[in-house]
Amino acid sequence: MLLLPEAVDDYVGPDNPVRFIEAFVDGLDLAASGFVRVAAKETGRPGYDPADLLKLYVYGYLNRVRSSRRLEAEAHRNIEVIWLLRHLKPDFRTIADFRRVNRAAFKQVFREFVILCRQLDLFGRELLAVDGTRIKAVNNKDRNFTRGVLTKFINEADEKLADYMKRLDEGDAQEEKASNNGSCGRSDGKLAEKIAAVQGKRDRHKALLDELDRTGEDQISLTDPDARAMARMTKVGVGYNIQLAVDVKHKLIAEQEVCNQVLDMGLLAPTIEAAMDTLGVDRIEAVADRGYFKIEDIEACEKADITAYVPKPIRGPAVAEGFFSKEEFRYEPDKDIYLCPAGQVLSPRHFGKSRDNVKIDYVNRDACKACHLRERCTKSFRRVSRLENEAVLDRMAARLAAQPDVLDQRRESVEHPFGTIKQWMYQGAFLMRRLENVRGEFSLTALAYNIKRAITLVGVAGLIAAVRV
Ligand code: SF4
């Protein structure tokens, strides 16, 4: 005992991250950030100060401890937590309630830290890399049903029921015949039981399908109703879609959002606009992968002064059949024509619609009839479609051609936070159910990632000094 320091403070060195956590949280205006119970009620026992519980959570997420029961245990045995909470020992219910009740406020705390890093000039604020990943929800894939799965099950159940009914009728007929002959007939006693079981399952699936018709959704999850079955190649099963906008200068997260949209299409402009707001810039460049390629989104980026770099996916029926891709046809904007690989002119002929856009088809039937490249191009005559507002995509393609390295910058920048969050921070699955709760959880995860990164860049002392300015 004589060898041990006398004060808890002696165990916590000047470069210990808990010293920054304390300074950072104490510097926040928690009421303005949306935390509840910031001021103690006049009656009853005063509750825990939200600042203390927020410190506990920031510490926990920074140290791979996310469950309320484990955080409670840390408050009893971990000298850093004992120092941070000044010997307070909240129970796990209080800890869990705090995260649930204040779920929306964590996003503001994340933003406050981005602003702090901005003051330290840790954000380049010139180029953001956007990407999405999927994180598993608290919902087994057996408890998720798509419209297709439900319809298939109901159809198969109907067929099975029809077969059972037929066998039941045949059994009745045989029984009747046997009793007429004076012999003893035998019916399948278990058949009625089987019919009841299949009928029960069918009714439950039909009720789920009716629910989908009522809500207009494509799938339903029973444990976490907001979670969605993600694309198969993600291997996540049922989960959430996490969007990150990462500043390429130091790979810090400028903006993060969780949604339950299965695809990334349409998420580029909203993610970057939110990041611009936090970074305090009027214009910025943004790079994303092919999954974000959507003309409406690219147009929205241009309108918001976002210079987007998104490579065009090579897809479409012509590509699927092994014919020339559209990229092999050159558009001449002055003449409003396409030049095909055989050097022929395709002119606008047919005007139609593609979603909300006007679509124009460019053709030259006569040239195709006599073309020596026809086998590599089309089965009859080639039609090249162009959207009325497609010039926005041409401008983006020209930018990408002039700056192909930007795609490598994207990969290098987004892989770091995703790798760190999933591998180092063990965030392979969410602990909570429902979208709003999961958003709160991920705000803490992204905050912890940024703190860890900023400590590497400027150290604990540098961060504490910035808080106290
Ligand atoms: S088939 Fe028609 S569009 Fe294709 S290369 Fe020949 S002329 Fe051009």
**Helix 92-101 / helix 68-77 crossing angle, nearest 10 deg:** 130
pLDDT of 203: 95
Secondary structure of the chain: what % helix, strand, coil (to 5)? 50, 15, 35
When the pLDDT of each residue in the chain is averaged and rounded to a whole number, the result is: 91
Question: CB atoms < 10 A from the CB of 376, how many?
Answer: 13
b/e code 250-273 from CB counts within 10 Å (16+ = b) = bbbbbbbbbbbebebeebbbbbbb
pLDDT at 186 over 60: no
Alpha-carbon gap, residue 90 to 84, rounded angstroms? 13
Give the residue, by CA position, lying nearest to ligand 1 atom 5.
342
pLDDT in tens, 239-287: 999 999 999 999 999 999 999 999 999 999 999 999 999 999 999 999 9
Question: CB atoms < 10 A from the CB of 282, how many?
Answer: 7
Give the residue, by CA position, lying nearest to ligand 1 atom 7.
368
pLDDT of 69: 96
pLDDT band at 26 (very low <50, low <70, confident <90, very high): very high
**Which CATH number among 3.10.50, 3.40.630, 3.40.50, 3.30.420 corresponds to the domain 122-137+229-312+397-435?**
3.30.420
CA of 330 to the centre of ligand 1 (A): 12
The ligand 1 atom at the shortest distance from the C-alpha of residue 343 is 8
CA of 353 to the centre of ligand 1 (A): 24
The model's pTM: 0.87
pLDDT of 251: 97
Residue 335 CB burial class (10 angstroms; 0-12, 13-18, ≥19): exposed
The ligand 1 atom at the shortest distance from the C-alpha of residue 324 is 4
The ligand 1 atom at the shortest distance from the C-alpha of residue 342 is 5
Residue 337 near ligand 1, beta carbon < 6 Å = no
Query: What does the pLDDT average to over 414-431?
Result: 86
